[in-house]
Amino acid sequence: MTSDSASSRKALSKIASNRLQKELVEWQVNPPAGFKHIPTDNLKRWVIEVNGAPGTLYAGEMYQLQVDFPEHYPMEAPQVIFVPPAPLHPHIYSNGHICLDILYDSWSPAMTVSSICISILSMLSSSPAKQRPADNDRYVKNCKNGRSPKETRWWFHDDKV
């Protein structure tokens, strides 16, 4: 299901692994509200439970995020997708890919898994309608061979949702 690109097969660099261990410890001390890290023995792939924020369209719903870290994290952005079934949202494709600039062009190494989670929850919470992106079918068909969303050239046209 995840990307077959070379970067994601490689082991984490020492720096990436130190940083992730640090993030994990801080997450355990101070997890972002609405998220739960599901413990695994794989530092390279985190699975995180997302609870829709109360008072939003997704209240009471539960989804799973899968975060895969590249060899050179945090220089390179992690790959973040929803494990299908993904929430119905104008920027979330049915294969779980998320159109969110900070995951791609606007990634900064000063961001953390925790700050990504907060951005995703904020994106969900501000959704005006439960619907798929207009080009969902075309996009999902193009991604058939397990292509990573990081290989997509995204257009970020909507800063309202």
Please list the alpha-helical segments (H only) found in the chain: 6-9, 14-29, 113-125, 136-142
Q: How many residues does the chain have?
A: 161
Q: Cβ 126 to another protein, closest distance in Å?
A: 22
Integer Cα distance of 112 and 108 in angstroms: 9
Q: Which residues are catalytic?
A: 99
Is 79 among the residues that bind another protein (CB under 8 A)? no
Task: Among 71, 103, 116, 133, indicate the residue that binds another protein (CB under 8 A).
Answer: 71
Buried b (16+ CB within 10 A) or exposed e, 90-99: bbbbbbbbbb
- Quote the least distance from Cβ 1 to another protein, whole Å: 26
Binding residues for another protein, how many (CB under 8 A)?
19
Tell me which DSSP letter residue 141 carries: H
Stretch in the footprint of another protein (CB under 8 A) among 7-15, 29-37, 42-50, 121-129: 7-15
Hey, what amino acid is at 116? I
Q: Which parts of 95-114 interact with another protein (CB under 8 A)?
A: 108-110, 112
**Please, which residues have CB within 8 angstroms of residue 58's CB and are 6 or more apart in sequence?**
52, 87, 124, 125, 127
19 binds another protein per the rule CB under 8 A: yes
From residue 109, alpha-carbon distances to 9, 72, 74, 99, 120 in Å are 21, 10, 5, 19, 17
- Interface of this chain with another protein, residues 39 to 58, rule: CB under 8 A: none
Q: Output 17 or 51, the one with its CB closest to another protein.
A: 17
Window 125-154: residues binding another protein (CB under 8 A) = 153
Q: Which residues bind another protein (CB under 8 A)?
A: 13-16, 18-19, 22-23, 26, 71-72, 74-75, 108-110, 112, 153, 155
